[in-house]
A and B are shown apart, each in its own frame.
Chain A
Amino acid sequence: MTIQNPSVSIKHLDLAFGAVKVLQNLNLEIADGEFLVLLGSSGCGKSTLLNVIAGLLEPTDGQIWIKGENVTWAEPSERGIGMVFQSYALYPQMTVEGNLTFGLKNAKVPKDEIARRVARAAEILQIEPLLKRKPGALSGGQRQRVAIGRALVRDVEVFLFDEPLSNLDAKLRADLRVELKRLHNNLKNTMIYVTHDQVEAMTLADRIAIMKGGKIMQLGTPAEIYGKPQNLYVADFIGSPSMTFFKGTLKGDVIAIPGHDLPLGNYDFKERPADGTPAIIGIRPEHVMTGDNLRSAPCTTEVTVDLVEPMGSDTLVYCEFGGETFRIRMDGQAQVTPGDRLTIGIDPAAASLFDTESEVRL
């Protein structure tokens, strides 16, 4: 897929610290106005990539283009980016206003223009009453707003977010997440957002890039990532709790896992492999049908409940099946106790099949 006039494009990017390769031949194109989330566990290179885009780290090889300009070796301030950091990184001895205007003063923007932009940013983020205060006197959420404001006043094409919500408590994080989404809807800027939180990624992103070991494992919309993970890593990473994986062998229109033959029926194969191919089937806990839904299930079986975790909104049930601990999500009212026999249904169309050898989706 190529994007016409990409806002940011990353071409054959390599970055190594000595012998350690942090980024490897990375290519990525981000469309104008797109909200792209870089998702991965710590050490996957997502923050490094963001820092390279910002110009805070120098790549070993490859190029960065922003708005049709090669900015690989440009100073961070010359790239037309604004950046929001996890620790907010507000200048402690300056007032909120000082924080917002520091960059503009460095760029010698005229005074009335500075005032106009600060007023606009303050209005959008509702931080007008805070302008004369110092960061020490602000709450975590207010600080994060100011940090976003600092990027906003720069009037730039591209916003970079480096785990901006990670230092906030859970409730505030959810609130600010919604605000960020609203902000993007209003501003329509390109935003690149680094996080390790899959909920943030799923809710905010137009597209998600899942990274591991300096490579992008899958790039796609949240629905694609969730519904059709392209490899075992992505399938295991997304979803909480994650899919249960069963090792088996393809035989006609079933996959044989220890003790069971699961019919594959209407599974959407990319390319039908030969019979006898070893494969792995992954089933999401929420795709296991119980109770009333069973009627629509193409295949049903009976299991013994091993452990129950009631979570309020829903209930997690653990049971032994096909040699694995099978995780099943039921609704919050489900009345099950360990030892119960439970009938479950599985829909192969919603499952994911992977080649055992290459771990790529079949």
Chain B
Amino acid sequence: MTTTDIRPQTGRSAAVRRPSRLLRNLSSKVAMLPLIFTALVIFLGGTIWTVVYSFTKSGLLPRLSWAGLDQYERLWSSRKWIVSIENLAVYGVFSLIGTLVIGFTLAALLDRKIRGEAVFRSIFLYPFALSFIVTGLVWQWILNPELGLQHVVRGMGFESFTFDPLNNPNIVMFGLLIAGLWQGTGLIMCIMLAGLRGIDDDIWKAARVDGIGTVKTYIRIIIPMMRPVFVTSLVLIAAGIVKLYDLVVAQTSGGPGISSEVPAKYVMTAMFGGQNLGQGFAASTMMLLMVVIILIPWAYLEFGGKRRG
């Protein structure tokens, strides 16, 4: 058989030699330049820069005059920062528990092969499409003491009913929590529902054959099987909690007084409001530290365990 070669004749001699490492896959490297820039310069470089400058006297402008741990000492002796951390802790604990419990319960209810599942799911999830600004403003309005929920309940005859979290420093974080849970549980419900749907039907059949009740099956069999889903949810919720900012700005602006301040807001005020960059850098480095403390056990469980197993 005669064959017509479809090989281009040029560049054949070059094929004999091994191409240099740098030039190999060149298009791929060029195409990834935006990613490489983002990863190295913005994410890695930016983080290192901020951590380094948190040890300086930077005020209005960043400058490299070392201050040792001064910024951190000032930070931790600031009443506002301590309140911010306490608030975040309260919000964090309740938000974690609340989101997981509500998210899983709703998912389990939706998983009972009910009618109108799609309608319920759309209702539970739509708040997630809305911004924290919108969320904060709506709940600010609903919780308005003169015209909102409190007013309506009093109008129904319960004259002494009092629910005014946004003006009560003791419970203002719960006012934020109501809005935060409203916005975020839908996502966790969806993830949990996907996890539940991923469980083999045979497990349910086996449980029925063994005569185990529905609730007990969930608690003893299904939840332990969904450990990875719970871990993912936990990390997502935790990462969201640390970022808590927009909701506070919209709903309470940190008030009354400083009673609903959070770390992210402290950073923003120090950096862009107070022209106190060093404080902002130190505070944001502390936020980074929090995330690291959350992430390292997770990464260890997720990846370290796998390698050993």
Does A268 count as interface, using CB distance less than 8 angstroms? Answer: no
Cβ contact within 8 Å between A78 and B15: yes
Does B209 count as interface, using CB distance less than 8 angstroms? Answer: no
Does A109 count as interface, using CB distance less than 8 angstroms? Answer: yes
Cβ contact within 8 Å between A73 and B6: no
Contact among B1, B6, B18 with A154 in the assembled complex (CB-CB below 8 Å): B6
B1-20 contact mask (Cβ, 8 Å, vs A): 1 or 0: 10111111001101111110
Q: How far is the CB of B283 from chain A (nearest CB, A)?
A: 43
Contact among B3, B4, B7, B17 with A78 in the assembled complex (CB-CB below 8 Å): B7
**What total of A-B pairs shows CB separation below 8 Å?**
44
A residues less than 8 Å from B7 (CB atoms): 77-80
Could you jot down 13 A-B contacts, CB within 8 Å?
Answer: A73-B14, A73-B16, A74-B15, A75-B15, A78-B7, A78-B11, A78-B15, A80-B3, A80-B7, A104-B6, A107-B8, A154-B6, A187-B1
Q: How far is the CB of A115 from chain B (nearest CB, A)?
A: 14
Cβ contact within 8 Å between B6 and A71: no
Cβ contact within 8 Å between B5 and A80: yes
Cα A103 to Cα B15 with chains together (Å) = 20
Contact among B11, B16, B19 with A70 in the assembled complex (CB-CB below 8 Å): B16
Cα A109 to Cα B7 with chains together (Å) = 10
Cβ contact within 8 Å between A189 and B1: yes
Does A188 count as interface, using CB distance less than 8 angstroms? Answer: yes
A residues less than 8 Å from B15 (CB atoms): 70-75, 78
B residues less than 8 Å from A75 (CB atoms): 15
A residues less than 8 Å from B8 (CB atoms): 78, 107
Cβ contact within 8 Å between B12 and A155: no
Cα A74 to Cα B19 with chains together (Å) = 9
Does A57 count as interface, using CB distance less than 8 angstroms? Answer: no
Cα A349 to Cα B193 with chains together (Å) = 68
Q: At the interface, is chain A mostly helix, strand, loop or mixed?
A: loop
Cβ contact within 8 Å between A74 and B1: no
B residues less than 8 Å from A189 (CB atoms): 1
Closest B residue, CB atoms, query A74: B15
Does A157 count as interface, using CB distance less than 8 angstroms? Answer: yes
Does A16 count as interface, using CB distance less than 8 angstroms? Answer: no
Does A156 count as interface, using CB distance less than 8 angstroms? Answer: yes
Cα A154 to Cα B3 with chains together (Å) = 9
Interface residues on A, range: 20 to 34
Q: Which are the 3 A-B pairs with shortest beta-carbon distances?
A: A74-B15, A107-B6, A78-B7
Does A69 count as interface, using CB distance less than 8 angstroms? Answer: yes
Q: How far is the CB of B256 from chain A (nearest CB, A)?
A: 60
Q: How far is the CB of A150 from chain B (nearest CB, A)?
A: 13
Of A78, A155, A187, most buried by chain B (CB within 10 Å of CB) is A78
Contact among A72, A109, A188 with B6 in the assembled complex (CB-CB below 8 Å): A109
Closest A residue, CB atoms, query B24: A58
Q: How far is the CB of B296 from chain A (nearest CB, A)?
A: 27
B187-221 contact mask (Cβ, 8 Å, vs A): 1 or 0: 00000000000000000000000000000000000
Closest A residue, CB atoms, query B9: A78
Q: How far is the CB of A83 from chain B (nearest CB, A)?
A: 14
Q: How far is the CB of B252 from chain A (nearest CB, A)?
A: 53
Cα A80 to Cα B3 with chains together (Å) = 10
Closest A residue, CB atoms, query B4: A155
A residues less than 8 Å from B16 (CB atoms): 70, 72-73
B residues less than 8 Å from A73 (CB atoms): 14-19
A residues less than 8 Å from B17 (CB atoms): 73
A323-342 contact mask (Cβ, 8 Å, vs B): 1 or 0: 00000000000000000000
Cα A69 to Cα B7 with chains together (Å) = 12
Closest A residue, CB atoms, query B19: A73
Cα A18 to Cα B240 with chains together (Å) = 39
Cβ contact within 8 Å between A188 and B1: yes
Q: How far is the CB of A120 from chain B (nearest CB, A)?
A: 11
A50-81 contact mask (Cβ, 8 Å, vs B): 1 or 0: 00000000000000000001111111011110
A residues less than 8 Å from B5 (CB atoms): 80
Cα A156 to Cα B5 with chains together (Å) = 7
Cα A194 to Cα B128 with chains together (Å) = 52
B residues less than 8 Å from A103 (CB atoms): 6
Interface residues of A in 111-166 (CB under 8 A from B): 113, 154-157
Cβ contact within 8 Å between A156 and B6: yes
Interface residues of B in 101-151 (CB under 8 A from A): none
A residues less than 8 Å from B14 (CB atoms): 73
Cα A187 to Cα B1 with chains together (Å) = 7
Interface residues of A in 173-195 (CB under 8 A from B): 187-189
Q: How far is the CB of A71 from chain B (nearest CB, A)?
A: 6
Cα A188 to Cα B2 with chains together (Å) = 11
Q: How far is the CB of A162 from chain B (nearest CB, A)?
A: 21
Cα A69 to Cα B5 with chains together (Å) = 13
Cα A241 to Cα B99 with chains together (Å) = 60
